[in-house]
Amino acid sequence: MKVLRLHGATQLALHEEPVPTAGDGELLIRVTAVGLCGSDRHWLSEGGIGDAGLDAPLVLGHEFGGIVESGRRAGERVVLEPAVPCRTCPVCRAGYPHLCPTLRFAGHGDTDGALRTLMAWPDDLAYRVPDSIPDPEAPLLEPLGVALHALHLGHVGPGTTVAVFGCGPIGLLLLLAALATGASVILATDRLAHRLEAATGRGADRTLTAGDPGIEAASKEATGGLGVDVAVEASGEDGALEDAIAATRPGGRVVLVGIPDDDRSSFTASVARRKGLTLLLCRRMEPSDLSRAIDLVASGRVVLEGLVTARYGLDGWEDAFAALLDRRGLKVIVEPQRQDKEETG
């Protein structure tokens, strides 16, 4: 089978490897679609992410869907939860398996991800995908689950005013999820014009270029002088975090979703302190979030159409990762079962 491995920073190579064997409690999955994520960009450009480095050649890819190859669920279309907690430590037993200190995560550390044609994965982490959700959109369900977790941390609900800082795929999913909960997305920011256009088309009341000095005034103008209840930072850049703090009302909440390049985030403490802000950091998603994401899309409350802007076969990995690094379009999808390598829209 074909497998794409990262050997070091900027060093990807396609290999032929034996078909894996599903162990007890596992399914053999024929991978149909993999979403490339900002964290994959970190792994490729830096050879690691945060405090995690590359100890051996690694298969990237943690946003993925596929078809069960054999057994009682053979033929079932599924999306996979990429996080495998130990289930026995005090953190897991306390109800926080997504924060398990020994959690294994697809495409991270020494756990191979989904950029391959076949893989084995735990049965109970494979969620059925309704026929109404096409294969190329199935990988978006995992980042939508992360978006739902971030909004839960921020206590976002009906009537909440929200601002999104960073309108890449995760930022746009945050926007769509916020609107689905009954919130009002007052403004959204990004550096790229095509992302701002996408945010406007998906319901943001106003968009501004990241770093615009009018962001705080725009937030206050839209909220009767207060600022938004919740700001979500989804770019991993300190400038976006500063903008988020400036746009948030006194007593409001700022949720950090983006991953910074150097594993550090900084902001002007006095501004956040004087406002009495609560800062929350989002790590992956809780166990129920993936099911919620599937239900929201299947019911039509969240529409994923248009977010996937490029699709490549596994042989086209060079072009796929070039699109990711250059931030072209919105979501880049790799389809390991495709025989051609060319891009499709």
78-104 pLDDT per residue, tens = 999 999 999 999 999 999 999 999 999
Same domain, 96 and 49: yes
Same domain, 124 and 216: no
Confidence of residue 343 (pLDDT cuts 50, 70, 90): confident
pTM of the model: 0.95
Which H or E element spans position 320?
helix 317-325
Same domain, 16 and 52: yes
| Mean pLDDT in residue range 133-146 | 98
Same domain, 165 and 215: yes
Same domain, 223 and 312: no
Q: How many CB atoms lie within 10 A of CB 51?
A: 6
| Mean pLDDT in residue range 210-228 | 97
Q: Based on the structure, what is the number of domains in the chain? A: 2
180-203 pLDDT per residue, tens = 999 999 999 999 999 999 999 999
Mean pLDDT, the chain, whole residue set: 95
Q: Are 33 and 136 in contact (CB under 8 A)?
A: yes
In a domain, 342, yes or no: no
Same domain, 226 and 260: yes
Same domain, 15 and 122: yes
In a domain, 343, yes or no: no
DSSP state for residue 24 in the 8-state scheme = T
In a domain, 52, yes or no: yes
271-329 pLDDT per residue, tens = 999 999 999 999 999 989 999 999 999 999 999 999 999 999 999 999 999 999 999 99
Give pLDDT, residue 345: 66
Tokens of 241: 């975090």
Same domain, 121 and 181: no
Q: Are 148 and 293 in contact (CB under 8 A)?
A: yes
In a domain, 107, yes or no: yes
In a domain, 268, yes or no: yes
Same domain, 275 and 313: no
| Mean pLDDT in residue range 225-229 | 98
Structural domain that includes position 182 = 144-281
Same domain, 25 and 57: yes
Query: Residue 215 above 80 pLDDT?
Result: yes
In a domain, 254, yes or no: yes
CATH number of the domain to which 152 belongs: 3.40.50.720
- Please tell me the distance from the alpha carbon of residue 175 to that of residue 102, in angstroms, as a whole number: 31
In a domain, 295, yes or no: no
The DSSP annotation for 114-176 comes to S-BSEEEEEGGGEEE--TTS-GGGGGGHHHHHHHHHHHHHTT--TT-EEEEE--SHHHHHHHH
In a domain, 317, yes or no: yes
Same domain, 120 and 18: yes
Q: Among all chains, which residue has been given the structure tokens 């409350």?
A: 301
Q: Are 82 and 107 in contact (CB under 8 A)?
A: yes
CATH number of the domain to which 74 belongs: 3.90.180.10
Same domain, 203 and 261: yes
